[in-house]
């Protein structure tokens, strides 16, 4: 792996779905680690008050909160994003941690004018100095998610292959359209990652087919991530699954996501032969 010579400016990617437990955090942690392992500098912005992304990567989120160095304080303007970053076991992957306090941002953002731009402006400097910023969204459709989408170049939707799971997709896509109209017209939908796939059950096969029939024409659908306890085990082990087992089920899909993100960054941000453009 060759280190990337000129870091930044970053491609900003949200992993979003208003349902919880669909694999957003798992996706962020593994894709972030894989990009870092390839030599890119990556910041994972944990925008879920449950702080799962940081905890999964062994970040001491309580210490960060005690020091008032979490996303809550960044959104308030009381801390700079750069001051809050915590290195993970691959130091090229750093976390901007969350804490339960972030839940208060929902109402605080609601009270501000032009609040949908807050995260975008708070990340502006950081964006110039790293290669990728991944935003782990909370399982809501509130202000934190709007802020994440306004700050993003592209959005990836992890979605369980279960009948009720992809019913919320229409609502999420409406919010993406809303954000495009509200000042981020180039926000793209990178694709859907089907998760928790039990390929031996006819129900999951049918749901995956349904997903392709409904969205496959207009949205890229990645190969499904199998349902395996290796993922929860890796969070107990304090690192991304790929760090323990690069050949684990689903890692191939994350690798495709990584390749797509690198291509998207090259296409949007670093025109061939022109070095870094701002
Ligand atoms: P979200 O961030 O959307 O709430 P998570 O990524 O935290 O979802 O996943 C929810 C739980 O499911 C976690 O405990 C995680 O380890 C586990 N998990 C994630 N992906 C898989 C998978 N493919 N198979 C089995 N368990 C998984
Ligand atoms: Mg999560």
- Ligand 1 contact via 77 beta carbon (within 6 Å): no
DSSP assignment string, 97-154: ---GGGHHHHHHHHTSTTGGGHHHHHTHHHHTT-SEEEEE--SSSSHHHHHHHHH-SE
- Rounded distance, CA 193 to CA 24, Å? 10
Which residue out of 52, 231, 245 has the highest number of ligand 1 atoms within 8 Å of its CB and is therefore the one to mutate? 231
Which residue out of 232, 233, 250, 253 has the highest number of ligand 1 atoms within 8 Å of its CB and is therefore the one to mutate? 232
This complex has an ipTM of 0.99
pLDDT given for residue 139 in this prediction: 96
Specify the residue for token string 């509200």: 182
pLDDT given for residue 7 in this prediction: 52
pLDDT given for residue 271 in this prediction: 55
In ligand 1, the atom with minimum distance to the C-alpha of 197 is 23
- Ligand 1 contact via 232 beta carbon (within 6 Å): yes
Q: Whose CA is nearest to atom 5 of ligand 1?
A: 23
- Rounded distance, CA 52 to CA 54, Å? 6
User: 3-state class of 27 per DSSP?
Assistant: helix
Summarised one tens digit per residue, pLDDT across range 164-173 is: 777 788 889 9
- Rounded distance, CA 156 to CA 211, Å? 15
pLDDT given for residue 4 in this prediction: 46
* Contact assessment for residue 19 and residue 160, using Cβ atoms and an 8 Å cutoff: yes
pLDDT given for residue 170 in this prediction: 87
Low-confidence ranges of the chain (pLDDT < 50): 3-5, 273-278
Ordered structural domains, the chain, with CATH: 11-157+226-267 (3.40.50.300)
214 forms bridges with which residues in the sheet? none
- Ligand 1 contact via 50 beta carbon (within 6 Å): no
- Rounded distance, CA 25 to CA 122, Å? 22
In ligand 1, the atom with minimum distance to the C-alpha of 233 is 16
């Amino acid at each position: 792996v060759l280190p990337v010579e000129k870091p930044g400016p970053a491609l900003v990617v949200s992993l979003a779905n208003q349902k919880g437990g669909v694999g957003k955090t798992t996706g962020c942690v593994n894709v972030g680690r894989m990009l870092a392992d390839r030599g890119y500098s990556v910041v994972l912005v944990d925008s879920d008050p449950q702080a799962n992304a940081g905890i999964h990567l062994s970040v001491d989120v309580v210490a960060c909160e005690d020091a008032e160095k979490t996303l809550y304080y960044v959104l308030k303007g009381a801390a700079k994003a750069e001051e809050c970053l915590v290195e993970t076991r691959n130091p090229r992957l750093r976390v901007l941690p969350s804490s339960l306090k972030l839940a208060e941002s929902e109402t605080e953002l609601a009270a501000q004018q032009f609040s949908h731009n807050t995260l975008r402006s708070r990340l502006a400097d950081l964006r110039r100095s790293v290669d990728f910023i991944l935003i782990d969204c909370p399982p809501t459709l509130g202000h934190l998610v709007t802020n994440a989408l306004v700050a993003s170049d592209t959005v990836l939707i992890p979605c369980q292959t279960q009948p009720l799971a992809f019913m919320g997709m229409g609502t999420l896509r409406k919010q993406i359209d809303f954000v495009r109209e509200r000042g981020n017209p180039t926000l793209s939908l990178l694709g859907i990652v089907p998760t928790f796939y039990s390929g031996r059950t006819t129900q999951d096969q049918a749901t995956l087919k349904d997903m392709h029939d409904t969205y496959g024409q207009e949205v890229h659908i990645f190969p499904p991530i199998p349902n395996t306890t290796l993922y929860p085990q890796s969070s107990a082990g304090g690192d991304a699954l790929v760090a323990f087992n690069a050949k684990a089920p689903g890692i191939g899909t994350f690798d495709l996501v990584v390749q797509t993100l690198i291509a998207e960054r090259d296409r949007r941000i670093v025109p061939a032969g022109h070095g870094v453009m701002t």
